[in-house]
Structure 1
Amino acid sequence: MTAFSALPTTRRFKGISMKLFVSLKVSSRMYLMVALSVLGLLLLSALSLWQMRDSMLEERRDKLRNLVEYAHTQMAYYDAQATAGRLTLQQAQQQAAEALRSVRYDQDEYFWINDMQPAMVMHPIKRELQGKPLAQIKDSDGKALFVEFVRVAQAKGAGFVDYQWPRPGVEAAVPKLSYVMAYQPWGWIVGTGIYIDDVDAAFHRQAMLLGGISAALLVLMLLAGRAICGSIVHTLGGEPAEATAIMGRVASGDLTAQVGNRPAGSLLHSLGGMAQALRELIAQVRDSAVSLAQNAEQIR
């Protein structure tokens, strides 16, 4: 089907849609417009929320990436010292691990180092893991964390891994995001991670706030719409379609159209008064014509 052949169908659809809209009562039209406005507001709010969440997560990703790149340069520095003969390989690795062991950011966040087995090379908090195999360590969802770290590092050289892990002193697991990078000359993987449950918490807070604002706007729009509808109907004396039909009959000369009781000052009330006045005028003209005809007969 070409674009030109589709035009009649589109026009018919628009025509049918317009007829359906016009056939609705004023109140129905107003409520429909309110519903569409609120729906649009909710869609925009949802889009803004997701963009906010993505922006916060991207900020965390950039932070982790920069931190691990710093740790990677530290390893490269000590490796260069060993290559230059200033340190043995064992000394270089030990000093690199100790240098990263002492680094903290965000008060209590840290770096760890594991190898490709995976086994722990350095962990500043859990020293008991030193040299221990890590393949069996899993999160609350059953994800083998360090196996995943090795997989990502071997496949991409560096990358993100998300998992569930409890905060210190808390049993419940929360979302955590780590970034790992391989240092190939030593077969090491350095990584660090941060909890991201605050991102979801901020998302939910904003969602609740926007939900409350949307609900308040909905109530205000409904109240305003109801007041506007009442004003329109009161001014017309009825629904626009009804007023149009009665006015059309009167305009075509049908003065028998019954207006009924309408609010004083409304259009239909005035139209009813006009129709009644016209009926009385026509009756007077008819009576005058009959009287003139009778007088003419008498003169003859």
Structure 2
Amino acid sequence: MKLSRELNLFVAMGLILVGILFASISIYMMKTNSDKEMVHLRSLLESERRTKLRDLIRGAYSVLDTANFYEPAQKALQDMRFGANEQNYYLVVDTDGMIWVDPFQPKHVGKIKLNLTDADGKPYIRNIIDKAVKQKEGYISYKETPGDQLHPVTRLVYFKYFEKWKWIVCAGMYMNDIETLLGEKEKEIKNGMLVQAGIILGLVTLAVLISIKTGTTLISKRIVIPLEQITHAAQRIGMGDFNAKIEVKSNQEINQLADSLRKMQKSLDMAIKRARRVRDKRTHSTVEEDTSVYVTSLSEAKKDIPKAS
């Protein structure tokens, strides 16, 4: 019974470890796939946002191309809004750092603001001018606190240089809506992962329990019970019962052990029988010798008796 418990415990521990390993790998793969999905979604949303900003700059350029003077173009861009709740706007600055359009901070219009900094302390106006002069167009991002926000958020800006007036036209959009969408998506994915992980753990647990039951039954039938039968037979042989039947059906190794025990049983039985025959023969010979000696002695005794006169 002790061997049975130890084998069953060994099988159970092995299957539990395999189940834990399988569940861990499955959860890790789900986590990896969800991370890849989030990276892909972020890239897709940001790519769409960049494309939209380029299209907005094209629209602003058409206004500049058709305007004959600064004032009409300035007024048109000042009134243009886009994005959710029309919270996004155009920013126009020239290469000297003078602000021409800034609906977010109208007090800056007509003033040189090269040293304006964002929420991180970076001079974003100067950075825009430097890049526009070198690249003519491109992207830049900086931190800004919208009027309805308590904390700064990232603003992605696409700029393009309008060489005729030395203006740099910028279209920017806040990225907090993307972060909100990604946060909701990540929460949704995590909830889905928890459900899937629960299902996987449940299935693994069920599979482990079934495997443990099947494995312990098989081990008991194929190993433990045959070994107990062999042990019982060996004990009977040790007590002198050489007629005990050894009927064992198991794997090759245990069958070989049973065959060896049968051969030993047969050899011992033959040896005992041979010893008994020798003993009986010796006993019979001894009796004959004793009888012969007795008869001889009796005959000699008769010779010594005087004959009657």
Moved more, 128-137 or 211-220: 211-220
Shift of 1:229: 1.6
Match of 1:161 in 2: 140
Residues 1:290 and 1:156: Cα distance change in structure 2 (over 3 Å)? same
2:50 to 61, 65, 88: 61
Structure 1, residues 73-111: CA drift from partner, whole Å, max 9, x if none? Answer: 221223xxxxxxxxxxxx522222222223222324222
Residues 1:48 and 1:284: Cα distance change in structure 2 (over 3 Å)? closer
Task: Find the aligned partners of 1:289 and 1:149 in 2 and give their Cα distance.
Answer: 104
TM-score, normalised to structure 1, is: 0.70
What are the residue-to-residue correspondences of 1:23-102 with 2, within 5 Å? Answer: 25-78=14-67, 91-102=68-79
Task: Find the aligned partners of 1:284 and 1:184 in 2 and give their Cα distance.
Answer: 107
TM-score, normalised to structure 2, is: 0.68
Task: Find the aligned partners of 1:227 and 1:233 in 2 and give their Cα distance.
Answer: 10
Task: Find the aligned partners of 2:74 and 2:116 in 1 and give their Cα distance.
Answer: 22
Q: Which amino acid aligns with 1:192?
A: A
Structure 1, residues 171-226: CA drift from partner, whole Å, max 9, x if none? Answer: 42111111111101210111121110121222222222222332333333233222
Match of 1:217 in 2: 196
2:82 to 101, 105, 114: 105
2:220 to 250, 269, 272: 269
Cα RMSD after superposing both structures: 3.0
Task: Find the aligned partners of 1:284 and 1:29 in 2 and give their Cα distance.
Answer: 40
Moved more, 273-282 or 100-109: 273-282
Task: Find the aligned partners of 1:104 and 1:151 in 2 and give their Cα distance.
Answer: 26
1:195 maps to 2:174? yes
Shift of 1:32: 1.0
Shift of 1:157: 0.6
Structure 1: gaps (5+ residues): 1-21, 79-90, 238-265
Residues 1:288 and 1:129: Cα distance change in structure 2 (over 3 Å)? closer
Once superposed, which parts of structure 1, at least 4 consecutive aligned residues long, lie more than 6 Å away?
none
Secondary structure of the residue aligned to 1:170 is coil
Shift of 1:297: 5.0
2:106 to 127, 151, 156: 127
Aligned residues: 238
Task: Find the aligned partners of 1:212 and 1:62 in 2 and give their Cα distance.
Answer: 32
1:281 maps to 2:240? no
Residues 1:189 and 1:56: Cα distance change in structure 2 (over 3 Å)? same
Match of 2:152 in 1: 173
Task: Find the aligned partners of 2:262 and 2:104 in 1 and give their Cα distance.
Answer: 108
Secondary structure of the residue aligned to 1:25 is helix
Task: Find the aligned partners of 2:272 and 2:145 in 1 and give their Cα distance.
Answer: 108
Secondary structure of the residue aligned to 2:48 is helix
Secondary structure of the residue aligned to 1:143 is coil
Residues 1:146 and 1:209: Cα distance change in structure 2 (over 3 Å)? same
Residues 1:204 and 1:59: Cα distance change in structure 2 (over 3 Å)? same
